[in-house]
Amino acid sequence: MNHQLETKMKTTIKLAVALAALSIAPAFAHDQHDHGSFSAGEPGNPKKPARTIEILMNEMDYTPSKIEVKRGEQVRFVLRNVGKEDHEFLLATAKENLAHAEVMKKHPHMEHDDPNGVRLAPSKTAEILWKFTKSGTFEFSCLIPGHRDYGMVGHVTVN
Ligand SMILES: [Cu+2]
C-alpha cells in the first residue's frame, strides 16, 4: 500500500472513531477533536524518572491485569506479546475503548500509531511511556474483535 493511501485511511479511521464517540456521548466527543489530550493522562517525558511495569499479552488476557499508580506518576509499560496472535494494548477510559471497539468491528485490521496504544505481532515487544495526570480508573484493552469480551481488559487505578 502506498504511503499516501495509508495516511488517508488512518485519517478516515480517526474520523470514524470521532463519529462513534459522538453517537455515544456528545459531551465527550469534544475531546476527540483535541489531538493533544488523552483520557488516561498524557504521553510521558523520557527525561523524567519512570517506574517500569512489564505486561504480558496472551490469549486472552494480560498479566498483570490490575495495577495501581499514584497521580502524577510516570510509568514505562514494557509490553510483550507472548501469545500466538496479534494483540493490542490501548490505554484509555472504558467508554473510549468501547467506542473504539465498535469502529474496529468494521475495520479489524486498523493500525494504531497513537502514543497511548500499540498493536503487537506474536513475540514482539514495545514500550509505552505514560504519565498518569488524572485520578480515577482507566483500562487497557485489546480491541481486536472478540478479544476484549474473552478477557483482554485490565485496569489501572490512579490515586
Ligand atoms: Cu488481543
Report pLDDT digits (tens) over 69-128: 999 999 999 999 999 999 999 999 999 999 989 988 988 887 777 899 999 999 999 999
Distance from residue 115's CA to the centre of ligand 1 (Å): 18
The pTM is what?
0.76
Distance from residue 7's CA to the centre of ligand 1 (Å): 24
Distance from residue 47's CA to the centre of ligand 1 (Å): 31
pLDDT in the model for residue 34: 43
pLDDT in the model for residue 18: 52
Distance from residue 54's CA to the centre of ligand 1 (Å): 17
Distance from residue 46's CA to the centre of ligand 1 (Å): 27
The answer to whether the CB of 158 falls within 8 A of the CB of 71 is yes
Cell of 111: 493500525
Nearby residues of 118 by Cβ (< 8 Å), 6 or more positions away: 79, 88, 89, 112, 126, 128
Residue 147 pLDDT exceeds 80: yes
The answer to whether the CB of 120 falls within 8 A of the CB of 57 is yes
Distance from residue 48's CA to the centre of ligand 1 (Å): 31
DSSP alpha helix (H) spans, 33-116: 94-106
pLDDT in the model for residue 109: 81
Q: Does the N-terminal peptide bond of residue 145 adopt cis geometry, omega within 30 degrees of 0?
A: no
> For 3-36, what is each residue's pLDDT tens digit?
555 555 555 555 555 545 444 444 444 334 344 5
Distance from residue 157's CA to the centre of ligand 1 (Å): 22
Cell of 152: 483482554
The answer to whether the CB of 107 falls within 8 A of the CB of 88 is no
Residue 153 pLDDT exceeds 90: yes
Q: Which domains does the chain possess?
A: 3-158 (2.60.40.420)
Distance from residue 65's CA to the centre of ligand 1 (Å): 13
